[in-house]
Amino acid sequence: MIFPRLLSGLRRLSGIAMQKPEVVFILGGPGSGKGTTCAKIVEKTGYVHLSAGDLLREERAKPNSQFGQLIEEHIKNGTIVPVAITCSLIHQAMKTSSKNRFLVDGFPRNQDNLDGWTKNMSDKTIVRAVIFLECSAEVCTKRCLNRGLQGSGRSDDNMESLVKRHETFIKDTMPMVKHFEELGLLWRFDSERSANDVFDDVYKKLKEIDWVE
């Protein structure tokens, strides 16, 4: 009787080990509150926050990074870094984590990002939902400029870069929002409200479908 129980236990452990990481994408314009909302979710749940932008900035800051200069040029110009680089950084961050649920914010930002994710990550992860933080360009810009004045250290928190970033968001990212909405995966939240109000609504939704620990 011991052997069957042992075999059953090993199968359960194997199933846990083989379980694919679960992903919730966070989309929104620059300054819409993606990072703040993610931080609040992480504080109260078992999710790990992976910011595509932060991962790229960390890679750019490495002294011997082969992608550093390329990433810097894209960030300054408000354009989108090649998907292969971003997917590689996200996947590496997942592999080094002990958790299995991830908030991936600022991704996918365009069709190339989506195609790259489908090609490189769809067999490695399960996308559960997409949180879309709706915020006007005016409010987003004001937030980013204030962030820059407070010493964010980000080279793109200035008016020239923000104009380009908003143009890129409307042209490239909004079609992704429509795509996920058509798939029935999109959740919309008004992020012009206070950070606490936005988080309360997001958390209620996660709790409603039992995606919080």
Give the tens place of pLDDT for each residue, 148-161.
Answer: 888 777 778 889 88
Is 207 known to sit in a ligand binding site? no
Q: Are strands 126-134 and 22-28 parallel, antiparallel or unpaired?
A: parallel
3-class DSSP state of 126: strand
Is 33 known to sit in a ligand binding site? yes
> Measured between alpha carbons, how far is 77 from 92 in angstroms, rounded to an integer?
26
Under 8 Å between Cβ of 83 and 176: no
Is 57 known to sit in a ligand binding site? yes
Is 141 known to sit in a ligand binding site? no
* CA distances (Å), origin 55, targets 1, 47, 197: 50, 17, 27
Is 128 known to sit in a ligand binding site? no
Is 35 known to sit in a ligand binding site? yes
Q: pTM of this prediction?
A: 0.82
Structure tokens at 187: 């959740």
> Measured between alpha carbons, how far is 180 from 26 in angstroms, rounded to an integer?
12
Tell me the per-residue pLDDT of 85-130, one tens digit each, with 9 for 90 and over. Answer: 999 999 999 999 989 999 999 899 999 999 999 999 999 999 999 9
Under 8 Å between Cβ of 50 and 103: yes
Under 8 Å between Cβ of 153 and 57: no
The number of residues making up the chain comes to: 213
> Measured between alpha carbons, how far is 72 from 155 in angstroms, rounded to an integer?
9
Is 193 known to sit in a ligand binding site? yes
The domain made up of 22-205 has a fold known as: Rossmann fold (3.40.50)
Is 101 known to sit in a ligand binding site? no
Is 147 known to sit in a ligand binding site? yes
Is 102 known to sit in a ligand binding site? no
3-class DSSP state of 51: strand
Q: Where are the domains of the chain?
A: 22-205
Tell me the per-residue pLDDT of 9-52, one tens digit each, with 9 for 90 and over. Answer: 544 444 444 589 999 999 999 999 999 999 999 999 989 999 98
Half-sphere exposure of 184 (CA within 13 A, CB side): 0
Q: To 5 degrees, how large is the angle CA 197–CA 201–CA 206?
A: 145
Q: Which residue has the higher pLDDT, 187 or 147?
A: 187
Tell me if the bond preceding 4 is cis, omega within 30° of 0.
no
Is 212 known to sit in a ligand binding site? no
Is 81 known to sit in a ligand binding site? yes
In the block, residue with structure tokens 């360009």? 137
